[in-house]
Amino acid sequence: MSKPPTDTEWDNAYIDEQLAEHLRQTREPDPMGKLALFSGAAQRPGPFGTLAIECSSCKRESPIRFREIPRLVMPISLTLPRRYHTFMKCPGCGRRTWVRARWRM
Amino acid sequence: MARTIAIANQKGGVAKTTSVVSLGAAMTEVGQRVLLVDLDPQASLTYSLGLDPDSLDVTIHDVLVGRTPIGKTIHQGVEADIVPSNIDLAGAEAYLLTRTGREYALRMALEDVQMHYGVILIDCPPSLGVLTINALTAADEVIIPLQCEALSHRGVGQLLETIEDVRRLTNRTLSVGGIIPTMYDPRTSHSREILADVGRRYGMRVFEPPVRKSIRFAEAPRAGKSILRYAASHPGATAYREIARSIIG
């Protein structure tokens, strides 16, 4: 028969449990974990931030890489002085629509 | 515009496909125009409605990789129309993982046919991968079939977390319609306890009546029919009719 835990062992187990709960709550979501299923959420910001596109149709903000820009603006793109200033393909929902760009740190 | 409902639970064998077929048939009975979407590479829904997955020219796979409009994949059936699937859909999952905006592939495809249907039911695969995320992003609500057996609720918490991620990132209006208790055995107190526990634990609506376990559910797909046509007066068929009425409201 195993010995019952001492008071110290109980205390240590309680502290471990509290610590584990604290770590669970404060842990940064891993972009390579389940968030990798979402195209926007999986991208880590670069050292100088990330270019993000906000779409007037889906209202989502999608971070993009510079190499994706040609694919999104082809075959036609237009920029006008308005809130959603550029007509191009939204990287989030895939619609050709008006978007605006912003630098996300 | 169609009301789009995803039937999801990452646990396998909880009667997701049976629920989709039966609810689809029950909704058709009350005059709804219903489209069923098979989003599982195992293609059980496709098979259940009498189609041979391996002999299909175009499936939901072709839609998700952008090769075919969804309208060209629809098979019209007696009990409901269906967008079929086959094992190629496993490849679509790998293809979508490299695409920006991958979560919206199904939602955008369904936009083309939504005006033709009253209800669209999506049969999700038994996993929390990119296909399930597509279904949850395309859906207005999600319904969770849950087997009335011990350990069956394990995973529901993870599914609810995923639903929360989807609300935050791709579909802020997604709601949880409730739980369909399946494979219920009224003779055992165990089944009754599980049912009571699930409603309490997750604070969600539990549809009534629970769907009883029966061999008829296994026999119906072999005949290419839903339980509603295979055994019209069976308690399982009656349960799905009542649940369908509750869902339609």
Closest CA to B42 of B102, B116, B131, B114: B131
- Helix/strand/coil for A9: helix
Among B166, B167, B67, residue whose Cα is nearest residue B109: B67
For residues B9 and B145, the answer to whether their CB atoms sit within 8 Å is yes
**A102: confidence class by pLDDT, cuts 50, 70, 90:** confident
Q: Is the pLDDT of residue A1 over 60?
A: no
Of the candidate ranges A54-58, B48-52, B150-154, the one whose mean pLDDT is the lowest: B150-154
**Does the beta-carbon distance from B104 to A64 stay under 8 Å?**
no
- The whole-angstrom separation of Cα B63 and Cα A74 is 22
Listed in sequence order, the residues at least 6 apart from B8 whose beta carbon sits closer than 8 Å to its beta carbon are B16, B124, B132, B135, B136, B142, B143, B144, B159
Residue A102 and residue A50 in contact, taking contact as beta carbons nearer than 8 Å: no
Q: Measured between alpha carbons, how far is B32 from A15 in angstroms, rounded to an integer?
A: 57
A and B: number of Cβ contacts within 8 A:
47
> Which residue on chain A is closest to B101 by alpha carbon?
A92
Within 8 A of A37 by CB-CB distance, chain B residues are 97, 103, 128-130, 133
Distance from CA of B75 to the nearest CA of A (A): 27
Identify the CATH number of the domain in which residue B64 sits.
Answer: 3.40.50.300
Nearest-angstrom CA–CA distance, B18 and B180:
11
Tens digits of residue pLDDT in B62-76:
999 989 999 999 999
Confidence of residue A50 (pLDDT cuts 50, 70, 90): confident
The answer to whether the CB atoms of B101 and A94 lie below 8 A apart is: yes
Of A5-14, A63-72, B89-98, the least confident: A5-14
Q: Name the domain count of chain B.
A: 1
ipTM over cut 0.90: no
pTM (whole model) above 0.80: no
Residue B103 CA to residue A44 CA, distance in Å, equals 18
B85 compared with A47, residue with greater pLDDT = B85
Q: What is the mean pLDDT of residues B172-191?
A: 89
Which residues of chain B does A95 touch, with a Cβ-Cβ cutoff of 8 Å?
108
| Chain B contact present for A62, CB below 8 A | yes
In chain B, % of residues over pLDDT 70: 100
Check pLDDT > 60 for residue A43. no
Structural domain including B93 reads 3-248
| Chain B residues whose beta carbon lies within 8 Å of the beta carbon of residue A90 | 101
Helix axes B156-169, B189-202, angle to 10 degrees: 30
- Taking residue B174's Cβ as centre, other Cβ atoms within 10 Å add up to 19
Mean pLDDT over residues B148-163, rounded? Answer: 82
Instruction: Give the end-to-end CA distance of chain B in Å, rounded to a whole number.
Output: 16
The DSSP 8-state label assigned to residue B184 in this structure reads: B
Q: Which residues of B touch A (CB under 8 A)?
A: 97, 99-105, 107-108, 128-130, 133, 162, 165, 169-170
Q: Which among A35, A41, A91 has the least Cβ separation from residue B101?
A: A91
Nearest chain A residue to B133 by CA distance is: A37
- Does the pLDDT at position B57 exceed 90? yes
- List CB contacts of A82: < 8 A, sequence separation 6 or more: A98
- Residue A2: per-residue pLDDT: 60
Contact A37/B at CB under 8 A:
yes
Residue B101 is predicted with a pLDDT of: 77
Q: What confidence category does residue B249 fall into, taking pLDDT thresholds of 50, 70 and 90?
A: confident
pLDDT, mean over chain A:
75
Q: Which pLDDT score, from 0 to 100, does residue A31 have?
A: 61
